[in-house]
Amino acid sequence: DSGVTQTPKHLITATGQRVTLRCSPRSGDLSVYWYQQSLDQGLQFLIQYYNGEERAKGNILERFSAQQFPDLHSELNLSSLELGDSALYFCASSVLGQGSETQYFGPGTRLLVL
């Protein structure tokens, strides 16, 4: 158990809908990362937050957004969902979000868009 928690474990929804994925980092970690894992794209970095502020952005679609709250939990919002958004979404956390820090991954949320 990495200490990173994610809810829900599974999510089934329809195209065009909006969902929210939630992540709680390890105790003491200030930085949160979101990754998407799909069969055709592999594991891809989406976005990083540090202490409530956006720190780095990857190939995140405009339909996707995230935020980190004062209690350090983070939410990833996915809107206007398409079939191709079906994937595993992982949250990871690290202490300061700086170079060479170990990132600890949560168990993931499996999203299925029908």
Partner 1 sequence: GENVEQHPSTLSVQEGDSAVIKCTYSDSASNYFPWYKQELGKGPQLIIDIRSNVGEKKDQRIAVTLNKTAKHFSLHITETQPEDSAVYFCAASIGLRAGNMLTFGGGTRLMVKP
Which string of x and - marks every residue 29-68 that binds partner 1 (by CB under 8 A)?
--x-x-x------xxxx--x------xx-x----------
Rg (CA), the chain: 13
Residue 105 sits in the site that holds partner 1 (CB under 8 A) = yes
* 74 lies in the site for partner 1, by CB under 8 A: no
**Measured between alpha carbons, how far is 29 from 32 in angstroms, rounded to an integer?**
8
Chain mean position to CA 107: 11
Residue count of the chain, please give it.
114
Write out the residues near partner 1 by the rule CB under 8 A: 2, 4, 31, 33, 35, 42-45, 48, 55-56, 58, 90, 94, 97-108
